[in-house]
Structure 1
Amino acid sequence: MVASDGARVLVASNRGPVSYSLREDGTLESRRGGGGLVSGLSAIGPDTDAVWVCAALGEGDRAAVLRTPERSGRLAAEDTGDQRVRMLDIPADTFASAYNGIANSVLWFVHHLLFQTPLEPVFDEDFREQWAAYVAYNSAFADALAEEAGEGAAVLVQDYHLTLVPQLLRSRRPDLRIGHFSHTPWAPPEYFRLLPDDVAAEVLTGVLGADRAAFLTRRWAEAFAACCSDVLGATVSRDDGVLTVTYQGRTTRIGVHGLGADADFLRERAHRPDVEERLAVLREAVGGPDRKVIVRVDRTELSKNIVRGLLSYAQLLRDRPEWQGRVVHVAFAYPSRTDLAIYREYTDEVSDLAEEINEEFGTPGWEPVILHVKDDFARSLAAYRLADVALVNPIRDGMNLVAKEIPVVTDDGVALVLSREAGAYEELGDDAFVVNPYDILATARALHQALSVSHGERAEATKRLAAAATALPPHQWFLDQLRALD
């Protein structure tokens, strides 16, 4: 049934634009987030009826849903920046199995090619129970979107958490225009087929329920189409540069939208007083204007390759002792998915390795690695401004916005050392020092080359990097997808 006041534009994502925490006195504190989707929804204008459907992620969010009128999950406008947001209170055990058990421990690992295949994955009865929860979680989103959408509305479904939603929603509301966007890489067929055959098919047919499936790079789009051909026997066509997949009588158009950095926001935010304060602290910690600074800013996700980055830096100091005392590696490794043991162990390994490097090479006046593991956006921006070299060496990454943000924010130009496995490589590779993320020796050489480049060369490369990095800012990225559904 279509609501008479149904929305014209809908966004669905696991995480919404607002989160809640419970204070000690039982009251709720709301915190609004940023990112491309927030910018995008703002870009369509206040006169466009829009709704964002998301999941309650924790105790504070669940309490907020319970306090909404009729427990509808429709959040107060003063908490959401006047956006219409519906937060779904999916049962906690269902959410945990879907989010941690399937989305983050199976689908994310498949797309990032991270399984240790002699031992994992293991698809047993526990997996099947978790898969049933993932189906239920996607169904809850499909139900809510069907209720909230007006006739013929446009729905933009986000990421690997919600791969089944397009097909589930189409079965409920065939009048809707549906898009799905993948923010991760997409695995090639030979790796995607690690999944049980029926699950692999269900993921693909779920996405193919959309009128349009979009990706961050052409490489990931081609991998998805290849999986559809290999697993489903779907027909893949390329006509006048348009990639399509036809399966069971329906055709899904495939698109590419390389999300860029929000230059106006970043440049303004990077010069606020809190950033200036942190910049002064970092400069003092580095220990003098003559020292070069290598910066990395990541979450401690297994794909970010932080350990090999530190090993490469240590190799640089061994191979090129002239850099000892003359360079500092500022490494921010912010905790991620701490409810999973493997992520906690990885964070510990990063901290231990940084300490070992400091013990091996450090002197009373020089700390080779400055490591921070507590999230601080203002401090990250300060590091962006300070960087002489940016190290972005993921094993595999859908895009990696850090590679795009640092050239936009840097005070004095930056040399970018970039993994060829980052999605950003397609746009930035020509002006970066490109590395195989597994090759420690080659990455150490690239760091030396980046540190040694002349100021003039670095400045010219930074201009080109910044131009490429901002070619499709978040609001335009969102609007392009919306227009493509027409």
Structure 2
Amino acid sequence: MVSEHAAAQILVASNRGPVTYALEENGELSAKRGGGGLVSGLSAIGDSDGDTALWVCAALGDGDREAVRRGVGEPGVRMLDIDPRVHADAYNGIANSVLWFVHHMLYQTPLEPAFGPEFRAQWASYEAYNRAFAEALAQSAGADAAVLVQDYHLALVPGMLRELRPDLRIGHFSHTPWAPVDYFRMLPDDVAEQLLRGILGADRAAFLTGRWADAFTECCVRVLGGTSGTRIGVHGLGADADFLRERSRRADVEERLVALREQIGGSGDRKVIVRVDRTELSKNIVRGLLAYRELLESHPEWRERVVHVAFAYPSRQDLAVYRDYTAEVQRLADEINSAYGVEGWTPVVLHVKDDFARSLAAYRLADVALVNPIRDGMNLVAKEVPVVSDEGCVLVLSREAGAYEELGEDAVVVNPYDVMGTATALHTALTMPQEERAERTKRLAAAATALPPSQWFLDQLRALRA
């Protein structure tokens, strides 16, 4: 394990780290390694150039905190035991209930937001949480080290770290959209300024698409008068083709394929519309179900000939608004099945328990993939389905997903608020000739894998050091 005082040359900071710990009944700690773009990226850093890499993250649960207390850890990972109340206020109170809502434009503005004393107390926790990261990075970084700070949870870290260690090369990457300036300015003026100045403490601020980068730049110009010399970059994270293709052919995925085909029923000639999402407010699952219901209503010829396989995996269930949204998804799926279902045909097959192998199985058998977020930084599902699809798949894609910038030309594009328009798009997708579907899928897969996770990370690192 890299000690607290090791002089690392490449540092990554994120709320969630590459490993989590669980405290077993016998008192032992068990570790679970995570996946994703950053994990792949760090593993791509070779030892040949002598760089020492360190990942700084927060202890997220009792198991993580116990691991920190016992001095248990993985090589190259430093986990911060931040006070649980401070973390809860910073993570749920500010990051997920304010910053996420601003960047995804989710507020019901007649009623919210209302920034009162509770917000100010939580904002103080967000500052303290960011400061803990900045101090840990300052302590662990070698001279002239490269520090890559991740996402809206840690927007203040670059500015705080710059004050502590002006010698460092600091980058910040936003994995979410960035709000347009008029929406961003709903935040209290001092908070809006603080967030922008925090990110501008970096040498380089990077985003998933040019659209989000432009929105950030406009906020800086309108609120602060400019970007203070910080360079702005764009890195569109792609799907990991090799991993997906290998993983989607394993035995557990084949088992899930058999089970899903059984649930879909028919004699194998039913069309399948697939969606795979967390029950996140921005994913627009409810309007997707409404559009499917409209398809069955306006095109009755599809009844008993199509099934909507919808995976809506629970997200942020400690927040009431997310619990309510999850319940509405379930209610609407039940309503559609009750109204249209007949013996031998269930119109909506809904699963709410997270199962990656089952998701890959659904990708493989999808005739149509529905990705209709209200707003999304990228949306990797849109990129993964064409890579894994067995027979070719039509992508029905929201123009508000970051992936639209790269995939829009070969997708059937929708306005995510237009239920009738989305129903029409589903019909168009279902009736697309096989040859056109196959050609589109091929082009989508090529675009989706243009910047795989390891290359995505290394590109940022090189750009920061340039």
Shared fold (TM-score, shorter chain, > 0.5): yes
Map of 1:91 onto structure 2: 83
Question: What is the identity, as a one-letter code, of the residue corresponding to 2:395?
Answer: L
> In the alignment, what sits opposite 1:240?
none
The one-letter amino acid paired with 2:68 is V
How do residues 7-406 of structure 1 correspond to structure 2 at under 5 angstroms?
A: 7-47=8-48, 48-68=51-71, 75-77=72-74, 83-234=75-226, 245-246=227-228, 251-287=229-265, 288-406=267-385
CA–CA separation in structure 2 for the residues paired with 1:24 and 1:303: 38
Partners of 2:5 and 2:140 within 8 A in 1: no
Contact 1:400/1:422 (<8 A) preserved = yes
Alpha-carbon shift at residue 65 of structure 1 (Å): 1.0
CA distance in 2, matches of 1:46, 1:307: 48
Gaps of 5+ in 2: none
Deviations 1:398-435 (A, max 9, x none): 00000000000001100000000000000000000000
**Structure 2 residue identity aligned to 1:17:** P
Paired amino acid for 1:254: I
Separation in 1, partners of 2:39, 2:301: 46
CA distance in 2, matches of 1:359, 1:25: 47
State the shift of 1:45 in Å: 1.7
Measured at CA, do residues 46 and 364 of structure 1 come closer, stay the same or move farther in structure 2, by a change above 3 Å? farther
Aligned residues: 460
How many Å apart are 1:4 and its aligned residue? 7.5
Cα offsets for 1:200-233 (capped at 9, x unmatched)? 0000000000000000000000000000011112
Say if 1:431 and 1:464, in contact at 8 Å, map to a contact too. Answer: yes
Encode CA deviations 1:439-480: one digit per residue, 9 max, x unaligned.
Answer: 000000000000000111000000000000000000000000
Distance in 1 between the 2:278 and 2:330 partners? 13
User: Given that residues 67 and 73 in structure 2 are in contact (C-alpha distance below 8 angstroms), is that contact kept between their aligned partners in structure 1?
Assistant: no
What is the Cα deviation at residue 5 of structure 1?
4.0
Letter in structure 2 aligned against 1:51? L
Q: Structure 1 463/266 Cα, relative in aligned 2: closer, same or farther at 3 Å? A: same
Instruction: Compute the displacement of 1:92 (Å).
Output: 0.5
Q: Provide the residue aligned with 1:407 in structure 2.
A: 386
Seq. identity, %: 73
Worse-matched range after superposition: 284-293 or 158-167 = 284-293
- Contact kept, 8 Å, 1:3 with 1:149, in 2: the verdict is no
Aligned partner letter, 1:76: G
Amino acid at match of 2:18: P
1:239 alignment partner in structure 2: none
| Separation of aligned partners in 1, 2:270 and 2:23 | 44
Distance between the aligned counterparts of 2:100 and 2:443, measured in 1? 32
CA deviation vs aligned residue, 1:108-166 (integer Å, no higher than 9, x gap): 00000000111000110110000000000000000100111000000000000000000
Q: 1:38 & 1:273 partners in 2: Cα distance?
A: 25
Offset at residue 22 of structure 1 (A): 1.7
> Normalization by structure 1: what TM-score?
0.94
Give the counterpart letter for 1:36 in structure 2.
G
SS in 2 for 1:398: coil
* Structure 1 residues 145 and 394: CA distance shift in structure 2, 3 A: same
Whole-angstrom CA distance in 2 between matches of 1:3 and 1:340 = 34
- Residue type of the alignment partner of 1:58: G
Note if contact 2:23-2:29 (Cα within 8 Å) is conserved in structure 1.
yes
Distance 2:141 2:312 in 1: 40
3-state SS in 2 of match to 1:453: coil
Aligned residues of 2:313 and 2:353 also touching (Cα < 8 A): yes
Q: Under a length normalisation based on structure 2, what TM-score does the superposition of the two structures give?
A: 0.98
CA contact (8 A) 2:4 2:78 kept: no
Give SS of 1:95's match: helix
1:465 pairs with 2:457: no
Preserved CA contact (<8 Å) 2:310 2:351? yes
Aligned 8 A contact 1:4 1:150 in 2: no
d(CA) in 1 for partners of 2:89, 2:413 = 38
